[in-house]
């Protein structure tokens, strides 16, 4: 316990009081920069080729994909491009009007590398457009005579208008070429639908990668915050719901001293390859993230939800994944992370107060998960009043004491609300949280099939990958420590490493 209070000192609190406004600006500028790298400022459709086709399409959060097969020398294709882009603008990129629904992509069949790919789809003329669930495109194909293929030839998409009409028919929607951002009636805000949280696996990836971008942009890794970051990374390596983020966190952790040398922000290192150049190259959740939009945490206004919603979801999903023996460590890691790295002064301060008021160490994961849940509800209760007064909330997502009856009726003992709150059945709440943030919110793709031991097996596998990638003794030591007793030893090993490696200020 004393450790928490030690690190959560007032000094670092004051040094980071740059305020919440820079948070949104910072992350937005990063995302815009990333977008511009992908195929120029005006291309919304994603360029695919044989080497990235399966991975990009397989990893997309979108429900559907459109693939345009074309040839760069074909004049008809060049004339078609503005039409296709007009539609892609709606669905792709950080400024998409309707993100996460349809991935619009193209493959240049005139490039040698794509010959086989184009053959698989029996491409006979240009441009040729296909529609289908992304999974069906991966390792899939199309033949003219195939009757029941889930991949369909788009036979009426010659202009932007006709393409959007075709898509509307398929999806029973009313997308319009003139739709503007955050004016959309397609946003589902059914708070009583328990499966919505499955979409949040994209949000926890987005929040993880955005958090690290912000940490770098704001040069927040300092000698007094390094240990906190390492702790949080340890938690992510072991328990992040997304396998890609576990793997990336392991990479950062194993290489931490190289990626984040103690003098990474020193004046002599500025200008040339500073911290952004080293850790900045690291995509903690893989190349496809950040995407620049949110799925579960998407607000109906342009400045609501998003990052802070994603952070809550990540924290809850960690809290239901830890073992009893890790509960105090997880508590400390999360408190310190929010305190040192969440660029929202009010949030940090309030959360810090709640952390500090915990009087005895957590012994069970149950207690920690319930603590986090009730802390979140305290924030909700306070913000409910504030937002009602200031009108700053998201009208489609009003704050509430959570979970509402519709999500978990057994969580409330009596339907009548007692004097200052609801009478909860804590065991039912815990069961609900575990199912909601644990079972339903899991990595899609590979992770789904080996849910049972995924956590442990996946962890070892992730570490094996990163330990192979960098043949450093530290990596090996880490892997051994992990193999022997998983997370506890890892934490322990790292803490002693940090102690012996660097002078500590506190």
Q: Which is nearer to ligand NAG, 101 or 478 (CB)?
A: 101
Token pair for 6: 């030690």
Strand partners, 357: none
Question: Please, which residue, 81 or 240, has the CB nearer to ligand FAD?
Answer: 240
Residue 144, both tokens? 């003219």
How many Cβ atoms from other residues are within 10 Å of residue 64's Cβ? 19
Contacts with ligand NAG, 66-105, as mask; x by CB under 6 A: ----------------------------------------
CA 140 to chain centre: 27
The dihedral sign for the CA sequence 132, 136, 140, 146: negative
Q: How far apart are CA 101 and CA 369, in angstroms?
A: 32
Residue with tokens 């693939």: 67
From ligand NAG, ligand FAD, none, which one binds at residue 67 (CB under 5 to 8 Å depending on kind)? none
Q: Which stretch binds ligand FAD (CB under 6 A): 70-78, 258-266, 373-381, 413-421?
A: 373-381
Residue 346 is a binding residue for ligand FAD (CB under 6 A): yes
Q: Is 312 in the site for ligand FAD (CB under 6 A)?
A: yes
> Which range binds ligand FAD by CB under 6 A, 140-148, 231-239, 369-377, 470-478?
369-377
Min separation Cβ 165 and ligand NAG, Å: 25
Residue number with CB closer to ligand NAG (52 or 435): 52
Q: Which of 106, 98, 325, 100 is nearest to 205 (CA)?
A: 100
Query: Of 380, 426, 435, 498, which lies in the binding site for ligand FAD, with binding defined by CB under 6 A?
Result: 380
The residue written with tokens 């979108």 in the block is: 62
492 carries an active-site annotation: no
Task: Tell whether residue 427 is a contact of ligand NAG (CB under 6 A).
Answer: no
Q: How far apart are CA 455 and CA 448, in angstroms?
A: 11
- Tell whether residue 397 is a contact of ligand FAD (CB under 6 A): yes
From candidates 37, 116, 190, 419, binder to ligand NAG by CB under 6 A: 190
In this structure, the number of other CB atoms found within 10 A of the CB of residue 219 comes to: 13
Does 192 contact ligand NAG by CB under 6 A?
yes
Q: Are 369 and 320 in contact (CB under 8 A)?
A: yes
The CB-of-398 to ligand FAD minimum distance in angstroms stands at 8
Q: Which is nearer to ligand NAG, 13 or 407 (CB)?
A: 407
| Interface stretch with ligand FAD, choices 206-214, 240-248, 254-262, 378-386 (CB under 6 A) | 378-386
Whether 130 and 153 have beta carbons less than 8 Å apart is answered as yes
Closest CB to ligand FAD among residues 44, 373: 373
Least CB distance from residue 388 to ligand FAD, whole Å? 13
357 binds, among ligand FAD, ligand NAG, none (CB under 5 to 8 A by kind): none
How far apart (Å, rounded) are the C-alpha atoms in residues 159 and 404? 46
Q: How far is CA 47 from CA 65, 118, 353, in A?
A: 13, 14, 48
74 is catalytic: yes
Tell which one of 313, 335, 474, 490 touches ligand FAD (CB under 6 A). Answer: 313
Query: Is residue 305 at the binding interface for ligand FAD, with CB under 6 A as the rule?
Result: yes
Active-site choice (77, 118, 285, 411): 77
Q: Which of 86, 152, 269, 376 binds ligand FAD (CB under 6 A)?
A: 376
CB closer to ligand NAG out of 27 and 340: 27
Nearest distance, CB of residue 203 and ligand NAG, angstroms:
19
- Interface residue with ligand NAG among 51, 115, 146, 392 (CB under 6 A) is 51
Distance CA 249, CA 232 (A): 9
Q: Are 345 and 20 in contact (CB under 8 A)?
A: yes
Question: What is the separation, in whole angstroms, between the first and last Cα of the chain?
Answer: 15
Query: With 0-12 CB in 10 A as exposed, 13-18 as middle and 19+ as buried, what is 345?
Result: middle
Closer residue to ligand FAD in complex, CB, 137/212: 212
Would you call 118 exposed, middle or buried from its count of C-beta atoms within 10 A (0-12, 13-18, 19+)? Answer: buried
The tokens describing 224, both together, are: 């007094």
The full DSSP string for 229-289 is HHHHHHHHHHH-SSHHHHHHHHHHHHTHHHHS-TTTTSGGGSSSS-HHHHGGG--TT-TT-
Please say which residue, 109 or 490, places its beta carbon nearer to ligand NAG: 109
> How far are the Cα atoms of 29, 216, 252, 480 from residue 467, in angstroms, in the given order?
33, 24, 11, 10
190 contact, one of ligand NAG, ligand FAD, none, CB 5-8 Å limit per kind: ligand NAG
Please state the separation of Cα 176 from the chain's center in Å. Answer: 28
Given the complex with ligand FAD, which of 282 and 371 has the nearer CB atom?
A: 371
Tell me the site size for ligand FAD, rule CB under 6 A.
Answer: 22
User: Binding ligand NAG by CB under 6 A: which of 155, 156, 193, 427?
Assistant: 193
Does residue 115 interact with ligand NAG by CB under 6 A? no
The yes or no reply on residue 184 touching ligand NAG (CB under 6 A) is no
| 197, 308, 407 from 190: Cα distances, Å | 11, 19, 10
Pairing of strands 64-70, 128-132: antiparallel
Output the residue with the shortest Cβ distance to ligand NAG: 193
Q: How far apart are CA 145 and CA 124, in angstroms?
A: 14
281 is an interface residue for ligand NAG by CB under 6 A: no
Catalytic residues: 74, 77
List interacting residues with ligand NAG (CB under 6 A).
47, 49, 51-52, 113, 190, 192-193, 302-303
């Amino acid at each position: 316990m004393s450790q928490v209070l030690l690190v959560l000192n007032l000094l670092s609190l004051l040094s980071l009081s740059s305020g919440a406004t820079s948070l949104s600006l910072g992350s937005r500028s990063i995302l815009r920069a990333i977008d511009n790298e992908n195929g120029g400022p005006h291309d919304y459709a994603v360029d695919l080729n044989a080497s990235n086709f399966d991975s990009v399409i397989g990893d997309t959060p979108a429900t559907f994909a459109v693939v345009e097969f074309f040839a760069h020398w074909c004049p008809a294709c060049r004339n078609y491009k503005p039409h296709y882009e007009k539609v892609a603008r709606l669905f792709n990129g950080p400024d998409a009007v309707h993100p996460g629904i349809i991935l619009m992509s193209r493959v240049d069949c005139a490039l040698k590398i794509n010959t086989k790919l184009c053959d698989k789809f029996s491409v006979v003329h240009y441009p040729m457009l296909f529609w289908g669930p992304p999974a069906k495109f991966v390792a899939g194909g199309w033949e003219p005579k195939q009757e029941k293929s889930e991949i369909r030839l788009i036979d009426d998409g010659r202009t932007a208008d006709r393409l959007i009409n075709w898509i509307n028919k398929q999806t029973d929607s009313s997308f319009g070429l003139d739709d503007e951002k955050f004016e959309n009636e397609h946003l589902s805000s059914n708070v009583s639908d328990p499966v919505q949280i499955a979409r949040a696996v994209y949000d926890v990836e987005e929040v993880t990668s955005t958090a690290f971008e912000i940490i770098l942009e704001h040069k927040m890794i300092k000698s007094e915050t390094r240990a906190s970051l390492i702790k949080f990374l340890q938690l992510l390596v072991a328990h992040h719901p997304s396998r890609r983020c576990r793997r990336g966190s392991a990479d950062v952790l194993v290489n931490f001293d190289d990626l984040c040398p103690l003098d990474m922000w020193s004046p002599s290192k500025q200008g040339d390859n500073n911290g952004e150049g080293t850790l900045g190259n690291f995509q903690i959740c893989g190349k496809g993230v950040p995407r620049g939009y949110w799925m579960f945490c998407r607000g109906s206004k342009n400045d609501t939800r998003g990052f802070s919603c994603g952070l809550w979801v990540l924290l809850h999903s960690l809290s239901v994944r830890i073992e009893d023996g890790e509960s105090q460590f997880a508590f400390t890691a999360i408190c310190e992370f929010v305190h040192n790295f969440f660029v929202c002064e009010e949030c940090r301060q309030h959360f810090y107060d709640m952390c500090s008021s915990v009087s005895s160490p957590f012994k069970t994961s149950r207690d920690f998960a319930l603590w986090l849940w009730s802390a979140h509800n305290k924030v909700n209760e306070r913000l409910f009043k504030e937002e009602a007064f200031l009108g700053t909330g998201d009208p489609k997502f009003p704050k509430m004491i959570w979970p509402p009856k519709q999500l978990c009726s057994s969580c409330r003992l009596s339907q009548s609300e007692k004097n200052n709150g609801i009478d909860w059945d804590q065991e039912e709440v815990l069961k609900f949280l575990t199912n909601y943030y644990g079972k339903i919110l899991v990595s899609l793709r590979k992770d789904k099939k080996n849910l049972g031991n995924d956590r442990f097996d996946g962890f070892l596998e992730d570490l094996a990958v990163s330990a192979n990638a960098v043949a450093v003794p530290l990596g090996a030591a880490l892997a051994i420590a992990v193999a022997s007793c998983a997370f506890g030893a890892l934490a322990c090993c790292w803490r002693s490493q940090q102690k012996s490696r660097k002078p500590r200020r506190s």
